[in-house]
């Protein structure tokens, strides 16, 4: 095929493709065809172990900015869940991949930032945490708003290690 005949075809295909594109909408925060939410730059999951205690925190590396914190004693399967909140609350409402759970919580003023810290007790075997373990993301619902905490690919191994340690 001669180049002079190919160019008009490429222009036509390009024009049709340009018309078919759309600006991203707020609901387009899902990554790729998987439907999984996208990780947020600058925020991630960090696993730490100190003796028999293990913790998994979502926030900014090497800072006091933590959105959600999970703590356990090795092998117990029991979790202490702490969530940052703008105002006092009585529950922590978590969701992952369609599984959802509400945990009764206590509230106290945060010391290192404005707002409150909500603390609840949960179990690693709860469906919402098992789904989080598989998918690498969990959402916190507060005041009708959903905040999704997504692991970057390099952090997913830490999530698995945390749940393996906790039991």
pLDDT (tens digit, 9 = 90+) per residue, 122-137?
A: 999 999 999 999 999 9
Work out the pLDDT band at 47, boundaries 50, 70, 90. Answer: very high
Quote the CA–CA distance of 94 and 46 in Å, as a whole number.
Answer: 18
- The set of residues, in sequence order, having a beta carbon less than 8 Å from that of 84 and lying 6+ positions away, is 66, 67, 68, 110, 113, 115, 116, 117, 118
In the prediction, which pLDDT does 35 show? 72
Model pLDDT, residue 20: 30
Q: Residue 113 has what pLDDT? A: 83
Average confidence (pLDDT) over 84-113: 95
Q: In this predicted structure, what is the pLDDT of residue 114?
A: 87
- The CB-side HSE value for 110 (13 A sphere, CA atoms) comes to 19
The mean per-residue pLDDT over the stretch 72-80 comes to 98
pLDDT at 18 over 70: no
Q: Residue 29: pLDDT band by 50, 70, 90 thresholds? A: very low
pLDDT band at 112 (very low <50, low <70, confident <90, very high): confident
Sign for the CA dihedral angle at 157, 71, 101, 89 comes to: negative
Band the pLDDT of 34: cuts 50, 70, 90.
low
Higher per-residue confidence, 3 vs 160? 160
pLDDT at 144: 86
């Amino acid at each position: 095929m001669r180049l002079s005949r190919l160019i008009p075809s490429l222009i036509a295909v390009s024009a049709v493709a340009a018309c078919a594109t759309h600006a991203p909408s707020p609901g387009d925060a899902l990554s790729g065809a998987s439907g999984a939410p996208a990780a947020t730059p600058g925020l991630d999951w960090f696993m730490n172990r100190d003796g028999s205690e293990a913790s998994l925190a979502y926030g900014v590396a090497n800072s006091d900015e933590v959105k959600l914190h999970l703590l356990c004693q090795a092998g117990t399967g029991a979790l202490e869940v702490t969530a940052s909140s703008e105002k006092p609350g009585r529950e922590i409402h978590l969701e992952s991949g369609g599984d959802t759970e509400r945990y009764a919580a206590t509230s106290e003023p945060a010391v290192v930032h404005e707002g409150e810290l909500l603390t609840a007790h949960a179990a690693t075997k709860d469906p919402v945490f098992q789904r989080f373990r598989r998918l690498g993301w969990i959402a916190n619902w507060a005041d009708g708003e959903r905040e999704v905490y997504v692991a970057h690919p390099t952090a997913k191994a830490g999530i698995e290690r945390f749940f393996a340690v906790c039991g």
